[in-house]
Structure 1
């Protein structure tokens, strides 16, 4: 089942072929982890969505409060009888209007979908996790690249490249050949006691878990935080590399080209991240 503009309907319900999200990628989405009915880091998700809608000049309905959207997610979970489980909720907002490139209005519609997750807390999964640099296409620097729009062609092509070549993930670079992020999350690099991640002006997503780790690292006495550009040459000199997103939490990279990496700092930060998750549930 899905929540389509407030109506709980069958999951095979079809959007119009004239939907602007389909025709032009004129849509945004948030992926939220819900544990026992509680969307974790929900305030961060909500304000990121509102800021993104303003940037794209979408008309934000008066009833689009944090409480309303949380209730809309809860209604879907209740309808599917999934209470007491961990859920991956995708909240997609699209401009619901006719027109070509120029929309006839800035009104919006939304769709909410859900999938059950195996675990409530985050785990740094064991096993090989090899990555490679994706150089066929670049992420453009600028504000639009930091938004979660449905225009993800670079990520799609990078994912196909990774699958065809046996990689778990790929690292994306921008038009100035600076490291931006991975296909499905933000990238962190560890060298000694310095933990470094690309700044958002380089084109990376304003990730929810990225923000949580920045808050953790800013208060840490063990590690020094740097938000600064990363050159591809730095990757093989790092002690650790890891990926973050709201569904996986933290995933250590084990190999990049001929270099293998430790996972000590990532595992340490994961404990601190899970402590924040527990506070939210």
Structure 2
């Protein structure tokens, strides 16, 4: 079942207008949320990121779009599933209502909530090899819009095709200054000794929920220091460890970049703490 503007309906019967602004102009934002152990992980952070994104895109936020209302709509959608006790990946997509061309006729919004079952109720360390490469055909523009989860993901799509064609598990995206911004599906962290480094939002990386959680976790660990600073491709050759973060997978260790191979020790430590934080809310 999907939730289309508050109405539960089968996915096969759900439809939107052919002149939907999200479809025609990329005039939409979304949140991908993890549901596990009977609750939505890091829901408050997801909610406030969604509200901030809607404000930046000049969408009219409905009066009933409170944190409690949207949480209830997410849970109602989950509970309509026959396997509602499982863990789920939930997507909440919000778009500006139909009307106008580049200039919208209204800033009012509509939404849809969909979900799919996940295999595990908690984050697990990926033990498989994860070889990555730079994607240099197109660049992310550093700036505020690049930090938002809009439905214009052409660079991510083209990078994913490039990775598939060349047998890489992931690729790294660069901004116009040739600095590494993020991976195709998440934020990045590198470890050099006891220093952990991640690109700043000003470089154009996604304002990721797990990125935020890990920054807070790392700051509480005396053995590590955290730096939000630009990362050049040359730094990858010096790093001891490299991992990718996102809401669904948690932490994904990178094992190889060109001739450089990485360990997973810091990722193991942080993953335990992330799981604990997710369970605590």
Q: What does 1:62-81 align with in structure 2 at a 5 Å threshold?
A: 62-81=63-82
Deviations 1:135-192 (A, max 9, x none): 0000001000000000000000000000000000000000000010000000000000
Question: Offset at 1:230?
Answer: 0.4
d(CA) in 2 for partners of 1:268, 1:37: 25
Q: Partner of 1:169 in structure 2?
A: 170
Deviations 1:42-65 (A, max 9, x none): 000000000000000000000001
Q: Partner of 1:242 in structure 2?
A: 243
Aligned to 2:266, the other structure's residue is in SS state: helix
Aligned to 1:190, the other structure's residue is in SS state: strand
Question: Offset at 1:82?
Answer: 2.8
Deviations 1:26-84 (A, max 9, x none): 00000000113311100000000000000000000000011100111111111113322
Q: Partner of 2:19 in structure 1?
A: 18
- How many residues align? The count is 280
d(CA) in 2 for partners of 1:197, 1:245: 14
Aligned to 1:17, the other structure's residue is in SS state: coil
d(CA) in 2 for partners of 1:141, 1:3: 34
Give the TM-score taking structure 2 as reference length. 0.98
Q: Partner of 1:6 in structure 2?
A: 6
Q: Partner of 1:209 in structure 2?
A: 210
Unaligned runs of 5+ in 2: none
d(CA) in 2 for partners of 1:128, 1:216: 26
Which consecutive aligned stretches of 4+ in structure 1 deviate over 2 angstroms post-superposition? none
d(CA) in 1 for partners of 2:198, 2:69: 34
Q: What does 1:202-281 align with in structure 2 at a 5 Å threshold?
A: 202-280=203-281
Contact 1:36 1:83 in 2 (8 A): no
Q: Partner of 2:88 in structure 1?
A: 87
Deviations 1:104-132 (A, max 9, x none): 00000000000000111111110210000
Aligned to 1:122, the other structure's residue is in SS state: coil
Question: Offset at 1:268?
Answer: 0.7
Aligned to 1:70, the other structure's residue is in SS state: helix
d(CA) in 1 for partners of 2:261, 2:57: 41
Contact 1:97 1:106 in 2 (8 A): no
d(CA) in 2 for partners of 1:75, 1:269: 32
Does residue 1:36 correspond to 2:30, yes or no? Answer: no
Give the TM-score taking structure 1 as reference length. 0.98
d(CA) in 2 for partners of 1:43, 1:82: 25
Contact 1:97 1:107 in 2 (8 A): no
